[in-house]
Copies of this chain bind each other. A is one copy, B any other.
Amino acid sequence: MNNLLNSINETLLMGPGPSSVSPQVYSSIGKSTIGHLDPKFIEIMDAIKIQLQTLMGTNNELTIPISGTGSAGMETCFVNLIEKNENVLILNNGVFGARMIDVCERLGANVDSINQKWGEPIILDMIQKKIDDKKYDLIAIVHAETSTGVLNPMDEIAKLINTTDALFVVDAVTSLAGLPIHMDAWGIDALYSGTQKCLSCPPGLSPVSFSERAIHKLMNRKNKVPNWYLDLSMIANYWSGKKRAYHHTAPINMVYALYQALYDIIQEGVDNVFEKHQNMHEYLLIKLNELNLELLVEKQYRLPMLNAIKIPEGVSDIDVRSCLLKDYNIEIGGGLGDLAGQVWRVGLMGYTAKKENVDRLFSALSSIL
């Protein structure tokens, strides 16, 4: 019987995630599985908390990887913090903002949203109007919109949201380890990320952090969290409780990979890693210019690690991407929703963010175009 895994070759992952993975991380994920209550595993869990705190800019005790992908992190933040009929405001300017609306509505929240044009950042005035009008229990935003390449200006937005009593939830799936995050300084109450973006770890875990205020809300709910698997009050007992009470079996080997990815980032130096992402973005701009290609997003709101490139008129989105994948072993992303067929999304995340990879992509692109 033919084993399909034999035909898996290394692909240069330059899409919106997963990003390419380093040899050290591949070797870590294949280490011997041990028990989820083994003292050695508990040491790794404790170390990951500290590693994540460093990247998130927080001292939150409740800082752990959820056993699911980034969207499980989104679900975790909302299902633990929202009760039925509470007022929620979503600052939406892309697929992941729209997903937040869907998640919160399913939980029975009264959801208002600001729906900014895709490719543009959330504007302070839009938020001011909403918070002047109504008292919100929770306000949420995507830091780095993977669907459009937009960076929402967190310094100003955080300041404004902190004038309210609302819990502040931030999607940092694409920003974590690619841009500075100041969870505590920004007054963020719940933050979630994913492993397959700038952490350059295979997909499968979602780092999440809850502030004291978020935990207080969780512990004083009127009703139990309507999701057993993602109930953080129980998961916290396993990840950071004194008794390490069994909740569910942690994805041991994925946790190894996350530990190694975080270890390597911290060894490289967090600031160096941010600088690398910025430098690679600027190098990409030079190469785009050579091919007369343009970015969708205005300069000051561009993400370094995710670049939405306008597809030139007359060029077939799918033909180019298929050719890149088949003939050059390079994956880039297409547009989602309204941007389908309009943009390519090129990720320069973590291990992918290397000059030689940008060169390889543009050498291929210039042959194809």
Name A's B-contacting residues (CB within 8 A).
1, 3-5, 7-11, 13, 15, 17-18, 20-21, 26-36, 38, 40, 43-44, 47, 67-72, 74-75, 79, 99, 102-103, 105-108, 194, 196, 202-204, 224-230, 246-254, 256-257, 259-260, 263, 266-267, 325, 331, 336
Contacts and interface: CB of A to CB of B under 8 A. Distances in A.
A106 B5 contact: no
Number of chain copies forming the complex: 2
25 contacts: A3-B263, A4-B43, A5-B44, A5-B256, A5-B259, A11-B32, A11-B35, A18-B35, A18-B249, A26-B32, A29-B30, A30-B30, A34-B331, A36-B203, A67-B69, A68-B229, A69-B250, A69-B251, A71-B248, A99-B228, A103-B228, A106-B228, A202-B253, A203-B249, A204-B204
Nearest to A225: B106
Nearest to A35: B331
Contacts of A228: 71, 74-75, 99, 102-103, 106
Contacts of A21: 32-33
A256 B6 CA distance: 11
A257 B267 CA distance: 29
Contacts of A107: 226
B252 A1 contact: no
B9 A32 contact: yes
Contacts of A256: 5, 8
A223 to B, nearest CB: 8
Contacts of A331: 34-35, 38
A74 to B, nearest CB: 8
A30 to B, nearest CB: 4
A14 to B, nearest CB: 10
* A interface secondary structure, majority: loop
B71 A226 contact: no
Nearest to A104: B228
A202 B194 CA distance: 20
Contacts of A8: 31-32, 34, 40, 256
A368 to B, nearest CB: 18
A9 to B, nearest CB: 7
B249 A70 contact: yes
A165 B112 CA distance: 41
A253 B47 CA distance: 23
Nearest to A3: B263
Contacts of A38: 11, 325, 331
A260 B253 CA distance: 15
Contacts of A257: 253
Contacts of A13: 33-35
Contacts of A196: 33, 249
A34 B267 CA distance: 26
A70 B5 contact: no
Contacts of A263: 1, 3
A81 to B, nearest CB: 15
B18 A5 contact: no
A33 B4 contact: no
A260 B105 CA distance: 39
A257 B67 CA distance: 17
Q: Which of A3, A40, A107, A251 has the most CB of B within 10 A?
A: A251
